[in-house]
Structure 1
Amino acid sequence: MSLKLLSLMLCVFGITTGEFVIAGILPDVAGDLDVSIPAAGLLVTAYAIGMILGGPVMTALTARYPRKPLIVALLAVVVVGNLASALAPVYSVLFVARVVTALVTATFFANAIVIAASTAPEGKQASTVSKLVFGMNLSMMLGAPIGTFIGNHFGWRATFGTITVVCLVGLLLVLPLVPAVESATSGGSAVAELRVFRDRSVQLAILITAVANMGLLMVFTYFAPLLTDVTGFAEGAVAVLLLVYGVGAAVGNFTGGWLSDRALMPSQIGLLGLLTAGLVVMWAVSGSTVASAVMVFVIGALGFSVIPGMQTRVLTTASSAPTLAIAVNASAYQIAAALAGWIGGRIIDGPGLRPVYLAAAAVTVLGILLSCYAWYRDRATAGTGMEGQTTETSPA
């Protein structure tokens, strides 16, 4: 693997760890800043909203700028945002710092993938991009557990301080190692780029990504209190369980990609069905530490198994604006995170923590229904197109 790719992977790893680690240190943040767990959970929502708004708009507005200076500037904002999070004296400052960091995150990911793909050897673009995206899996397997361990032993501020250092190192490596790459868009305006969102197929792909992932993200947002307060794990065990979840996510990511290459929509529907069942099982066995530990791996694997197929569908439907395709997918995923944090908090304030599992399963069922509709729509469109082709060629 080239040093260029490793430097970009380190940046992805650091940025994504900053997003995911909040699930493991949520109780510490809430206690130190004297806010409730649902209020602390809104930090996840704030980050998600920042990515939702910042991703498509900033990616479109910066599509014609040279990639390397752009990602350096974006990384600088990430470093400052995580440092401000570490030093935040009150909840409101931390909230704003998370939003500012999130505004540039999706745009960085989109441009980093453009750089990786455009500088890869001929015929190896896809494998190069997959290695870059693996930095996100590493943040699940290593970043979030290590960040949680640091938070539990040295305080949550030390977690964000460590993330700041990782992102700064990534920035310093990008400067000499990443080559200059021109913008991916040679013409057209930002408004023209954003018109891709008017396409009905793109809208449906975004909706599926948001709804189908919302249940899993609802559980993940409140992962720490679910495992400690409901199942009875010690606080120190959360970091280990996040590692188990991350390993499952990596396994599911590769398996789901393999299945999606062979049957995109059928595999997506089937995997979402298994995820729904897994969430119900997690609710049923939540009183057992052994069974819950096993299900943490299973839920991680099933939850991430659907992501490659959803990415493929978004990239396909948004092919008229490929620069925005990745940002579209990230925004859809963050829509799910934003709603998941809010809905989960309302459930906790009402019936309590444990029903979050059942609510997550119910939302995932909606994702299955939308996927079935999209598959039916695709088949109907294909059939209409085939009939039209037959009609045109039959006179000949």
Structure 2
Amino acid sequence: MFVHVLGLAVFAQGTSEFMLSGLVPGIARDLSVSVAAAASLTSAYAIGMVAGAPLMAAWSARWPRRGALAGFLAAFVVVHVVGAVTPNFAVLFATRIVAAVVNAGFLAVAMSVATSLVAPGKQARATAVLLSGVTLACVAGVPAGALLGERAGWRAAFWAVAALCLPALALVFRSAPADAAGRAEVRVRREIGVLRARPVRSALALAAAVNGATFATFAYLAVIATDTARLPEAAVPGLLAAFGAGAFAGVTVAGRQDDGGQDDGGRDDRGKGDRDKGDRDKGERGKGERGKGDGRPRRGLLLASAALPVGWAALALAGTAVVPLFVLATVQGALSFGVGSALVNRALRAASDAPALGGSFATAALNVGAFAGPLLAGAATAATGDQRTAAWVSAALAAAGTAPAAAAARRARLRRRPDTYA
């Protein structure tokens, strides 16, 4: 099935995006730059994703799908070859930005193709197959890249990503739809107007804060392991695999909760409710089981969000010991990606009237966090000289993002049950 071909390409691109965490020490040594500078390559990728996601979604909407997919994927291969051979850090930084821009373009087209090739009832499953490439990159691709970088140097990891894209590129040329059918014209101004709605902005801002917290520590995880916990570099792939396994579990659990909400029509009710508070309150009071089904995921999201800053603080305090470091990396991977996935789904429901740009703006919001988190962590660790400070930055970002959401949820409960607090 062609959707799985797209999933292979997304796996390669996800590996490229996240593998820098395990390659930071080697890049810093080889190119004679600081650890903070090498870690900023994660932010460089995020810059490209932030700029590229909405622009590429609008720009490529009318392209023939086969040409668009093949062009973006071929450009992705080329920039990785350039990154693998350059001796210049500035050039490497630039290749990360370009790779992210074409990655964003590929995802914009791939999402459209994945949903157009299957029956309406199976669109969610097709999207899940496509996006599973990202979580599988965390579980397998990133640790494999770190292991390859430790054994053969960081450049070998770049060559491996380029090579992994080649089978997908060949299959795209062979199997991708050649026409532009089904590519609706993107009404940019109208869709941006939808994205300005407060429920959408709130979900996107919270997703950015949570992802900033995730990447503030993730970009420094290998350095924390080697410099603070005194682990050998050979242990870094195992630590990244633990984080990735947690991320996969978190996304899986969040997805199942979300499926439960969609099965009973929760998507439509929530989208309408965000536009009309009166209808939402009425629906929650009068629809029995449906109201309960919508409430449970929200309560779970709040609890997981509240646990995030606590977990990052625990990692900062206990990150010098091997077992707590591995356990907390797994737990925080699950919480971070589970909460992030739930927030993206929440934003997409609220932005259901912006089908072309909604997903790209969610991608941009996540990468705003991925850009800001490592930069803040870099400034903090440079000031303190302690790599564990990155985890304290994560705790602060997570708390700053989740506290307003918890307060808003409490106010909503008070409005729904005024008699209880009279």
State whether TM-score is above 0.5.
yes
Residue type matched to 2:312 in 1? L
Q: Does the aligned pair in 1 maintain the 2:212–2:373 contact within 8 Å? A: yes
1:112 deviation in Å? 1.0
Cα 1:264–1:188 shift into 2, 3 Å: same
Match runs of 1:376-395 below 5 Å: none
Q: Does the aligned pair in 1 maintain the 2:195–2:358 contact within 8 Å? A: no
Unaligned runs of 5+ in 2: 262-292, 418-422
Unaligned runs of 5+ in 1: 384-396
Residue 348 of structure 2 corresponds to residue 350 of structure 1? no
Q: Which of 353, 364, 368 is the aligned partner of 1:335?
A: 368
Q: Which of 169, 172, 190 is the aligned partner of 1:171?
A: 169
Q: Which of 83, 86, 94 is the aligned partner of 1:85?
A: 83
Match runs of 1:1-396 below 5 Å: 2=1, 4-180=2-178, 182=180, 184-187=182-185, 189-260=187-258, 261=261, 262=293, 263-351=296-384, 352-372=386-406, 375=409
Q: Does the aligned pair in 1 maintain the 2:211–2:367 contact within 8 Å? A: no
Q: Structure 1 vs Structure 2: percent identity of aligned residues? A: 32
In structure 1, how many angstroms separate the alpha carbons of the residues matched to 2:142 and 2:136?
9
Q: Does the aligned pair in 1 maintain the 2:245–2:330 contact within 8 Å? A: yes
In structure 1, how many angstroms separate the alpha carbons of the residues matched to 2:64 and 2:346?
28
Cα deviation digits, residues 117-164 of structure 1 (max 9, x gap) = 111134211112111111111111110011111111111111101101
1:377 deviation in Å? 8.1
1:202 deviation in Å? 2.4
In structure 1, how many angstroms separate the alpha carbons of the residues matched to 2:320 and 2:179?
53
Q: Does the aligned pair in 2 maintain the 1:61–1:190 contact within 8 Å? A: no
Cα 1:88–1:373 shift into 2, 3 Å: farther
Q: Does the aligned pair in 2 maintain the 1:38–1:345 contact within 8 Å? A: yes
Q: Which moved more, 1:34-43 or 1:168-177?
A: 168-177
1:205 deviation in Å? 2.0
Q: Does the aligned pair in 2 maintain the 1:212–1:366 contact within 8 Å? A: no
1:379 deviation in Å? 7.5
Residue type matched to 2:302 in 1? I
Residue type matched to 2:320 in 1? G
Q: Which moved more, 1:135-144 or 1:269-278?
A: 269-278
Q: Does the aligned pair in 2 maintain the 1:56–1:194 contact within 8 Å? A: no
Residue 386 of structure 1 is matched in structure 2 by: none
In structure 2, how many angstroms separate the alpha carbons of the residues matched to 1:45 and 1:246?
19
Q: Which moved more, 1:56-65 or 1:239-248?
A: 56-65
In structure 1, how many angstroms separate the alpha carbons of the residues matched to 2:400 and 2:157?
36
In structure 1, how many angstroms separate the alpha carbons of the residues matched to 2:414 and 2:105?
35
Residue type matched to 1:368 in 2? T
Q: Which moved more, 1:371-380 or 1:288-297?
A: 371-380
Q: Does the aligned pair in 2 maintain the 1:204–1:374 contact within 8 Å? A: no
1:183 deviation in Å? 5.4
In structure 2, how many angstroms separate the alpha carbons of the residues matched to 1:267 and 1:218?
24
In structure 1, how many angstroms separate the alpha carbons of the residues matched to 2:191 and 2:62?
11
Residue type matched to 2:404 in 1? L
1:192 deviation in Å? 4.2
In structure 1, how many angstroms separate the alpha carbons of the residues matched to 2:381 and 2:46?
20
Residue type matched to 1:314 in 2? A
In structure 1, how many angstroms separate the alpha carbons of the residues matched to 2:200 and 2:257?
22
In structure 1, how many angstroms separate the alpha carbons of the residues matched to 2:391 and 2:216?
8
Q: Does the aligned pair in 1 maintain the 2:304–2:339 contact within 8 Å? A: yes
Cα 1:378–1:190 shift into 2, 3 Å: farther
Cα deviation digits, residues 364-394 of structure 1 (max 9, x gap) = 01121232355468779999xxxxxxxxxxx
Q: Does the aligned pair in 2 maintain the 1:51–1:331 contact within 8 Å? A: yes
What is the RMSD of the two structures over their aligned residues, measured on CA atoms? 2.1
Residue type matched to 2:360 in 1? A
Residue type matched to 1:251 in 2? A
